[in-house]
Structure 1
Amino acid sequence: MLAKGPRRTLDDLRFERLTRGAPRAGEVEIEVLAAGLNFRDVLNALGQYPGEAGLLGFEAVGRVTALGPDVAGLAVGDSVIALAAPGCIGSHVTVRRALVVPKPEALSAAEAVALPAALLTAYYALHHLGGIKAGDRVLIHAAAGGVGMAAVQLALAAGAEVYATAGATEKQQFVRDMGVRHVMSSRTLDFAERVRALTGGRGVDMVLNSLSGDFITESFGVLAPGGRFLEMGKIGIWDEARVRAQDASWVYRPFDLAAVAQEDPVTLVAMFERLLDEVAAGRLAPLPVTVFPMADAEQAFRFMAQARHIGKIVLSREDESRRLRFAAKGVRGDAHYLVTGGLGALGLRVARRLVEEGARHLVLSGRRGWCRPG
């Protein structure tokens, strides 16, 4: 499992070997094939998340390997999506059965794991909290990210007029290609004046915010009377008293999807199943993904911290899983095994698994030499 280090830097991230225990009542153990990476994880790794962020990782796709007592509706070997799986950046994770759904066969593991946090955050905000309706003017920040892209699709499908911000020029063009006419930069505060000009000074009915600092102030500055401000950011957010002092007619809804998952899993699963139906019918598109091998988690965290991606970042161990299952098949104690690339993270994992399955004679080779483990 990927763990934070004591210095709270990305250099400090490390995989720790944990003892797997049998799942308890109402729990499912999953062999992880892909895990979604979220900005929450970056803040968590850097020690900048307000409050207790818990373990790294939130959403996972994999195969069921064990079931707790009284768990129904699943079998060992089933391909599933775990909507909330703290600690899922690793080989296995144990999660609540209530937050596990079957993975659609048409979606790859990387496509499927990109959906839970992004689609559910956007839907919960716009529909459940914001009550979005046709004709609403909606400002969506960071629209080229996973949640932003999901929100753009949902808002357009609801008949809303979308105003969006994104970072680099190519990200802004990507958002335009999704059908958004009004796209502005998320790197400057100029968006506020643009929104006022585009709306004739009326402002927007809804803001979906993930930015911080002066961006929050300027976003409230373009919110129309009676508007809804949906806050999914974690840094420097306002409290209710400060909002009321600005305009008592505003509806302010900060929220955290992880807390919702713990408090009301039934509602969350029902939402997600409806959203999967929309994806299957082609009314919602899967999100673009940038895939890193899970062994390269540190590089993936850095890539996200630099905001270089469009859509979602996914950590995959599908290739690793296939190699591990091959390595564990028919292992003999009297045979000799050569592991090429065996001095890297994946090679050492394969070698360890061979030893666990009974191998006694191994040679590990790599670009820097070879060794024969004692």
Structure 2
Amino acid sequence: MKQIHYDVAGGPEVLRLVEAPRPQPGPGEALIEVHYAGVNRPDVVQRSGNYPPPPGSSPVLGLEVAGTIAALGAGVEGWRIGDAVAALTPGGGYAEYCVAPVGQLLPVPDGLGLAEAAGLPENWFTVWHNLMDLGRLKAGERLLVHGGSGGIGLAAIQLGKLVGAEVFATAGSAEKIEVCRAFGADWGIDYRQEDFVARIREITAKTGVDVILDMVGGPYLQKNLSLLRQDGRLVLIAFLQGSRVEFDFMNVMMRRLTITGSTMRPRTLAEKTAIRDALLQQVWPAVAAGKVRTRIHQIFPLSEAVEAHRLMESSRHMGKILLQVR
């Protein structure tokens, strides 16, 4: 089969298309004939040498795919060869075939294309766990999503609206704000043109928000804490502007704030399966009904993974970047 490989960590130019042996599914696993693979920021961080795969995981990039089941390992029940699936993978997605535990498979609803399906798993596993399990988001609360026009951001906006929250989103241009609004954001704030802290205080009559999903870190930390209401929760999922900062903990103590965060890849199969089950029950009916969507920004052939990574690093995209394998 063909797959994307790199010998040494570095910039996008280290990626190249090579021939490699087709993997085989072990017990409890499925071999997926990949049609599309999602490109995500963790792929870029891994390629640059700063996010090594967990022990036992494939060193090949790619954390989500959509395609059809080509083979099943021992002990697998409830799935058949030929089933159309989307999967959160332990790596290996940038390839013609990829192995994933069946506990991380999701059926592709009738009428949903495989390209759209490929853009769901990584975003929705991440957003569900961070907003629902860690952030404890509830109906009637206010949610602030930073980076609202990216894949994670658009999933978070949609989940907020599914739950019944009022959703604020920040993004870096008027065009990106319009995309956030099209996916359900009640309020969009162009952080290049406005002070998002001042704007949210104005909108909320200085009462703030309940949950913040942040991938910026650095200079946003103190600003985020200043916006949280009593018992508010700040959920960190990335640090695009750094993970080290000095700040005053007094707000945390006085308003009983929670600061939390997570990474998805090192979590156990049992934990990921529990998230998959929650998505099947709570989100997948909305996907099937067309209430949850994937916004595809651009699709590249597998052979152009270098250009896909350059686009991801530029942050010009709005929605998902995909690799077309078939």
Per the TM superposition, whether the score is higher than 0.5 is yes
How far has the Cα of 1:36 moved from its partner? 0.7
Distance of 2:270 and 2:192 partners within structure 1: 35
Quick check: 1:237 aligned with 2:239? no
Aligned AA (2:292): L
Runs of 5+ in structure 2 lacking a partner? none
Quick check: 1:144 aligned with 2:152? no
SS class of match (1:264): helix
From 52, 63, 80, give the equivalent of 1:75: 80
How far has the Cα of 1:151 moved from its partner? 1.2
Correspondence for 1:39: 41
Aligned AA (1:68): G
CA 1:263–1:243 in 2, change beyond 3 Å: closer, same or farther?
farther
How far has the Cα of 1:139 moved from its partner? 0.9
Identical-pair percentage: 32
SS class of match (2:164): coil
Distance of 2:123 and 2:22 partners within structure 1: 29
Aligned AA (1:28): A
**Contact 2:28/2:75 (<8 A) preserved:** yes
CA deviation vs aligned residue, 1:72-98 (integer Å, no higher than 9, x gap): 222322222212241110111122122
Distance of 1:212 and 1:55 partners within structure 2: 28
Correspondence for 1:267: 274
Correspondence for 1:298: 306
Computing the radius of gyration from Cα coordinates, the structure with the larger value is 1
CA deviation vs aligned residue, 1:193-230 (integer Å, no higher than 9, x gap): 22222222222111011113212332222222311011
RMSD: 2.5
CA 1:76–1:243 in 2, change beyond 3 Å: closer, same or farther?
farther
Aligned AA (2:195): D
From 169, 181, 185, give the equivalent of 1:176: 181
Larger mean CA deviation between 241-250 and 188-197 belongs to 241-250
From 57, 62, 69, give the equivalent of 1:57: 62
CA deviation vs aligned residue, 1:149-190 (integer Å, no higher than 9, x gap): 111112123222222101222111222333434211244782
Superposition map of 1:211-226 within 5 A = 211-226=216-231
Correspondence for 2:265: 258
**Contact 1:2/1:90 (<8 A) preserved:** yes
CA deviation vs aligned residue, 1:92-114 (integer Å, no higher than 9, x gap): 11221221233223111111011
Larger mean CA deviation between 50-59 and 31-40 belongs to 50-59
Distance of 2:52 and 2:238 partners within structure 1: 10
Distance of 2:164 and 2:101 partners within structure 1: 36
Aligned AA (1:251): T
CA 1:216–1:187 in 2, change beyond 3 Å: closer, same or farther?
farther
SS class of match (1:87): coil
Quick check: 1:228 aligned with 2:233? yes
From 4, 7, 19, give the equivalent of 2:6: 4
CA deviation vs aligned residue, 1:6-41 (integer Å, no higher than 9, x gap): 251111112333223432222221111110111111
CA 1:273–1:7 in 2, change beyond 3 Å: closer, same or farther?
closer
**TM-score, normalised with respect to structure 2:** 0.88
Runs of 5+ in structure 1 lacking a partner? 319-374
Correspondence for 2:211: 206
Correspondence for 2:19: 17
Correspondence for 1:197: 202
**TM-score, normalised with respect to structure 1:** 0.77
How far has the Cα of 1:50 moved from its partner? 8.0
Distance of 2:316 and 2:237 partners within structure 1: 20
From 104, 112, 117, give the equivalent of 2:117: 112
Larger mean CA deviation between 277-286 and 307-316 belongs to 277-286
Q: Which structure has more RCO (C-alpha within 8 Å, separation ≥ 6)?
A: 2
Aligned AA (2:278): M
SS class of match (2:36): strand
How far has the Cα of 1:120 moved from its partner? 2.4
**Contact 1:143/1:149 (<8 A) preserved:** yes
Distance of 1:262 and 1:186 partners within structure 2: 38
How far has the Cα of 1:282 moved from its partner? 3.0
CA 1:243–1:25 in 2, change beyond 3 Å: closer, same or farther?
farther
Superposition map of 1:117-136 within 5 A = 117-136=122-141
Distance of 2:230 and 2:69 partners within structure 1: 49
How far has the Cα of 1:115 moved from its partner? 1.0
Correspondence for 1:281: 289
SS class of match (1:20): coil
SS class of match (1:163): strand
Quick check: 1:161 aligned with 2:169? no
